[in-house]
Structure formats: C-alpha cells, structure tokens
A and B are shown apart, each in its own frame.
Chain A
Amino acid sequence: GESVGLHLPTLSVQEGDNSIINCAYSNSASDYFIWYKQESGKGPQFIIDIRSNMDKRQGQRVTVLLNKTVKHLSLQIAATQPGDSAVYFCAEHNLIQGAQKLVFGQGTRLTINP
C-alpha cells in the first residue's frame, strides 16, 4: 500500500507486505531529514535519517528516499510486522530557521493487519 503525502493520514497494510509512507517537505533549503515512529503514549523514536547530499539510505527493513527536485521524502518498510503499527512523522531541518530546529509533518498512521 502507498499513502500520498500528508493528505491521506492513514495507511493499512497486511502483515508481511511492504509499505510506503510519503512526505512532502516545505523548504528547499532543508539539509537533513529524519523519520520518526511514535507509538501511543510514547515519544517519537528515531528510525532513519538522510542528508540532502544523498538520495537513498537503507537501514534494517527500512529505506528512505529523497527527491530534492520535487521536495519529496518517502519511507519504505519491508515485510511489515504488527510492531510497525504506529504514527510515522517526517521531519526536516534547515539552518535558516536556526540550529537544530526540526519541523515535523502531521504524520501518517500505519496499521498492520494480521
């Protein structure tokens, strides 16, 4: 399944399938991007990050893709598990707004169906 940016805040996929969460960021000067996972009642948990001089970065079961031309960021989660159910936020950082002020998107709720 695939979500289209932040206009579709919920995404449901079957356990074992791959999921793609998209994010449109706002500032072309942003130089660093992070994906966070937030479970109910907890703070955001770091998943993966990417700098603006890269277009792809892979972690364990996760891949982040960055397209600076269209200011688009995506998070791919492979072989989803029930524990992946959470809200996922993209965040962008840029120096114009001051050191280390991350700006968060609204988030996408991912639900993994058994």
Chain B
Amino acid sequence: GAGVSQSPRYKVAKRGQDVALRCDPISGHVSLFWYQQALGQGPEFLTYFQNEAQLDKSGLPSDRFFAERPEGSVSTLKIQRTQQEDSAVYLCASTTLGGGISPLHFGNGTRLTVT
C-alpha cells in the first residue's frame, strides 16, 4: 500500500495482559514515530527511530512500554502488563528524511482498550 499501515485496527486486552502493535511505514521512509492519542486530546510523542536506531524514547510513559524496529522498516510497540490508563489510540508515522524537516505521514492507528 501507499500509506502507513497499522495492525490490529482494534485491540481489547484484559488488565495485566501484554500487547504488541505493528506498524508498516511507507517504503523507504527513514524515520518512524509512535504517538499516543487519548480521547479528545492531541497526539503525544512516545518514541522515534531513524532506520533501526531508537534515537529518542523520552515519551514512553513507563518501562512497561517498549518499541523496536530491528531491520529499519517494520516497527512493533509492545506494552507489558497493560493498565486501564494505557487505553488510547496508538499512532505510527513515518517520513523520508533522516535530518531536516518534512511532514509526518500517519497511519490510522490502533485503538487499544484495556478492561
């Protein structure tokens, strides 16, 4: 596809379960971002990759959150021992550049509901 693809589209987890969210960025895009969007709020930065290197993870809310991009393309955001406050839409975005400025291209997100 031409855009950023995220799966699953929806995920319901019981509190304490682990979840894994997948992002397929636009082919050839160097930079990949994860954002968390709570209901009625703007997206909040979680972490940033340039190729396979995680250059910034300052937005990850706790050590239960872990992201990886081992081959510099597909990325996975993992949340361990989910809590109700983790319920949100998780957005992935990518962009061509490795340095410089250009707009991010977002996927449609994964809506996570923790019960």
Which residues of A does B touch, CB under 8 Å?
A: 31-32, 34, 36, 41-46, 49, 51, 89, 91, 93, 98-107
Which residues of B does A touch, CB under 8 Å?
A: 4, 31, 33, 35, 41-45, 48, 50, 55-56, 58-59, 91, 93, 95, 97, 99, 101, 103-109
B105 touches A106 (CB 8 A): no
A99 touches B45 (CB 8 A): no
Of the residues A31, A32, A100, A106, contact of B33 by C-beta under 8 Å:
A100
A101 touches B107 (CB 8 A): no
**B-side contacts of A100, CB under 8 Å:** 31, 33, 48, 95, 97, 101, 104
The distance from the CB of B93 to the nearest CB of chain A, in whole angstroms, is: 8
* A-B interface contact total, Cβ < 8 Å: 62
The distance from the CB of A3 to the nearest CB of chain B, in whole angstroms, is: 15
The distance from the CB of A58 to the nearest CB of chain B, in whole angstroms, is: 16
B106 touches A101 (CB 8 A): no
With contacts A44-B106, A49-B103, A93-B101 known, is A104 near B56, CB below 8 A? Answer: no
B43 touches A44 (CB 8 A): yes
Closest 3 pairs (CB-CB, A-B): A43-B106, A104-B42, A46-B103
The distance from the CB of B21 to the nearest CB of chain A, in whole angstroms, is: 13
